[in-house]
Amino acid sequence: MKLSASGIRPQPFHGPHPVPVGGVGRTFTFGLLLSIVAAWLSLFATPGRAQELTFLAGTMGKGDFDETSYSWQVDYRQDIYRNLAASVAYLNEGHVLDHHRDGTAWELWGNLPFCNDRIALSLGGGVYYFYDTQPFGAGTQNVHGAAPIFSFSATGYFTDRVFCRLMVNHVAPTNDFHSTTAAVGIGVWFGPHKRPRGPEPSKDPAEPDDYVTEPQLTVFGGQSVVNTFLSEKAIAGAIEYRQGILPHVDGTVSGIYEGDPKIIRRSGAAAQLWAVNAFYDNRISVGVGIGPYVYIDRRDSQASGSNPAAVAPLVSLTFAVRLSEHWLARLVFDRVTSSYNRDSDIFLAGVGYSWR
């Protein structure tokens, strides 16, 4: 295999390339995802708006509900105006015959609050960037694609901070199965002050919105899972340096070790740009990141007889809690998007140190 001038080769592919789903190729869909993340950077910079984080679990029906499975979802939603919001969510559609599908949904919402804002009905629509593990010969293939998603939610705000939400999603790819998920869950309101009742805003002063993440060094441990029908697992680890660039924008450089789940033995370095938001006097933060992951797969290198580097997109979600002035705890979920049927999820928990 010839190397490019940079020493990085294209990723090897074991077997024929999967057919792009929905008529959209991998390059286009990743470019679309990158554009959406860029739009979310400007959304997160909206000052003084409410933010909601919701954890939901429920059921999924394939097509006309000829097959069913579980579903679960983590949803981050931010108000733009009183009747308009935007969200980013991770959606897991469970396991049905020949399909293990999940992905990230990016939506705009129209909101109708009533009962003095204690109940809200919302309709949403947007793009679902998905990853579907399917059988291929004696093995599996990872099919990537983009599809429209349409959603409905009903929310009951029972306290100033905690709410209950019912969420229904319909995913409609062109050349893959349609699905409908229904889930219920509990959420937390992360507004700059207690959630107001009625149309009048709170008179409490809003928190300053000019916070930039200080330098942070975090060490992680966790687990990697390869996206095949056997879901091979291994102990994983990482080290991350994080630096705020602007309010709501972080940059990170990471070293990642995915362990040895037998069918891959991958490790490398990643550089990512993050859209982030902080709450409760900057004690809690959430974010979504994207960037290149330059790696070596030593298991694949044994088959090819060489050991060059390759590059793959890395999409990540994070949640962090400040423990003291300098110490913090951070969770990270990484999705490695390969081009040779070896996508993986990396679940990491770590302790970090920050300084000024």
Same domain, 182 and 235: no
CATH number of the structural domain spanning residue 176: 2.40.160.20
What confidence tens digit (pLDDT) does each residue in 116-147 have? Answer: 889 999 999 999 999 999 988 878 899 989 99
Residue 201 resides in a domain: no
Q: pLDDT higher for 78 or 15?
A: 78
Residue 331 resides in a domain: yes
Exposed (0-12), middle (13-18) or buried (19+): which is 129, by Cβ within 10 Å? Answer: buried
pLDDT at residue number 20: 37
Same domain, 32 and 166: yes
Same domain, 109 and 148: yes
Last residue of a domain, one of 151, 172, 189: 189
pLDDT at residue number 199: 52
Burial profile 150-182: b = 16 or more Cβ within 10 angstroms, e = fewer: bbebebebeeeeebebbbebbbebeebbebbbe
Same domain, 50 and 161: yes
Number of domain units in the chain: 2
What band does 81 get if pLDDT is binned at 50, 70 and 90?
Answer: confident
Q: What domain range is 328 assigned to? A: 216-354
What global pTM score does this model have?
A: 0.81
Query: What are phi and psi for residue 29, nearest 5 degrees?
Result: -65, -35
What confidence tens digit (pLDDT) does each residue in 284-300 have? Answer: 998 889 999 999 998 86
Burial profile 80-92: b = 16 or more Cβ within 10 angstroms, e = fewer: eeeeebbbbbbbb
Same domain, 41 and 81: yes
Identity at 76, one-letter amino acid code: Y
Tell me the range of 132-136, 150-154, 261-265 where mean pLDDT is highest. Answer: 150-154
What confidence tens digit (pLDDT) does each residue in 239-251 have? Answer: 999 999 998 899 9
Same domain, 220 and 174: no
Same domain, 278 and 150: no
- Pairwise CA distance, residues 299 & 11, whole Å: 13
Spell out the alpha helix ranges (H) of 112-200.
Answer: none
pLDDT of 63 strictly over 90:
no
pLDDT at residue number 27: 46
Residue 88 resides in a domain: yes
Last residue of a domain, one of 154, 173, 189: 189
What confidence tens digit (pLDDT) does each residue in 266-278 have? Answer: 999 999 999 888 8
What confidence tens digit (pLDDT) does each residue in 159-179 have? Answer: 888 999 999 999 999 988 999
Distances (CA, A) of 149 to 65, 171, 179, 345: 17, 5, 10, 23
Phi-psi region of 98 (alpha: psi -120 to 50; beta: other; left: phi over 0): left
Same domain, 171 and 286: no
Residue 21 resides in a domain: no
Spell out the alpha helix ranges (H) of 181-317.
Answer: 298-304
Same domain, 174 and 225: no
Last residue of a domain, one of 150, 173, 189: 189
Residue 210 resides in a domain: no
Output the six-digit token pair for 108: 């705009």
User: What radius of gyration do the chain's Cα atoms show?
Assistant: 21
Residue 282 resides in a domain: yes
Same domain, 277 and 155: no
Exposed (0-12), middle (13-18) or buried (19+): which is 301, by Cβ within 10 Å? Answer: middle
Residue 38 resides in a domain: yes
Output the six-digit token pair for 191: 């507004």
Helix (H, G, I), strand (E, B) or coil at 333: strand
Q: What integer best gives the mean pLDDT of the chain?
A: 84
Query: What one-character DSSP code corresponds to residue 97?
Result: T
- Pairwise CA distance, residues 257 & 169, whole Å: 35
Helix (H, G, I), strand (E, B) or coil at 41: helix
pLDDT at residue number 193: 63
Same domain, 116 and 240: no
Residue 229 resides in a domain: yes
Same domain, 185 and 220: no
